[in-house]
């Protein structure tokens, strides 16, 4: 069901792309990808700078979405002020229409992938509260590859070659609450004397 929802949203964006044209949708897709690149790969750094929230899935997902919204909003506003308002038809009509449909579809897909990935990071996805819509493993399968490819492409485009780093970052975000549970289990196995010595340290 979720896969069909992604397709429907992507088709809606494809229709918007058909209306807006290739030039606008190309810039919009780039802004989307750049915002995803920065927000996802900086999430772990933000967690490390936030004592008490290092293992909070809700905090990580909220940080990603908030940073994405801010960066994309700034880029899109800048593009509108300096480029979109006075645009001209630079491309042949057929190329413009077909290209804008494809770019619009991609915009819808990467946006859905980001939202689904952010939800997968939250604890409620692990608890299975939305299994009626889609299981968490299925959501990871639908979102994770697209975000990894987006980050890898932007890394290659900006000459920031870190093959594999984006995959490790995303996987670490997806395992935030799992790692917290493991730490809690380890701490529960400690003797009272060991806990006291850890607290003193």
Q: pLDDT per residue over 126-160, tens digit each?
A: 766 677 677 778 888 888 899 999 888 887 776 66
What six digits make up the tokens of 130? 């939305």
Say what the pLDDT of residue 167 is.
82
**How far is CA 136 from its chain centroid?**
16
Q: CA-to-CA distance for 122 and 128, rounded, in angstroms?
A: 11
What six digits make up the tokens of 70? 């801010």
pLDDT at 185 over 60: no
pLDDT at 191 over 50: no
Counting beta carbons within 10 angstroms of the beta carbon of residue 110, is it exposed (0 to 12), middle (13 to 18) or buried (19 or more)? buried
What six digits make up the tokens of 155? 């890394």
| CB neighbour list of residue 79: distance below 8 Å, 6 or more residues apart | 27, 28, 31
CB atoms inside a 10 Å sphere around CB 155 = 17
CA nearest neighbour of 174 among 40, 70, 67 = 40
pLDDT at 163 over 70: no
pTM: 0.80
pLDDT at 44 over 50: yes
């Amino acid at each position: 069901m979720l896969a069909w929802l992604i397709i429907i949203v992507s088709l809606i964006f494809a229709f918007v792309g058909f209306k807006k044209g290739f030039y606008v949708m190309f810039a919009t897709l780039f802004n989307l990808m750049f915002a995803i690149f920065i927000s996802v790969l900086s999430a772990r750094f933000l967690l490390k700078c936030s004592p008490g929230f290092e293992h909070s899935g809700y905090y990580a997902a909220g940080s990603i979405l908030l940073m994405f919204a801010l960066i994309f909003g700034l880029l899109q506003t800048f593009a509108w002020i300096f480029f979109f308002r006075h645009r001209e038809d630079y491309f042949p009509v057929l190329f413009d229409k077909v290209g804008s449909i494809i770019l619009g579809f991609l915009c819808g897909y990467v946006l859905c992938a980001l939202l689904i990935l952010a939800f997968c990071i939250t604890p409620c996805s692990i608890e299975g509260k939305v299994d009626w819509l889609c299981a968490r493993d299925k959501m990871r399968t639908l979102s994770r590859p697209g975000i990894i490819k987006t980050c890898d492409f932007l890394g290659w485009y900006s000459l920031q070659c870190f093959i594999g780093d984006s995959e490790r970052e995303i996987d670490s975000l997806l395992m935030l609450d799992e790692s917290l549970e493991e730490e809690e289990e380890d701490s529960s196995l400690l003797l009272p004397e060991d806990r006291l010595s850890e607290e003193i340290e």
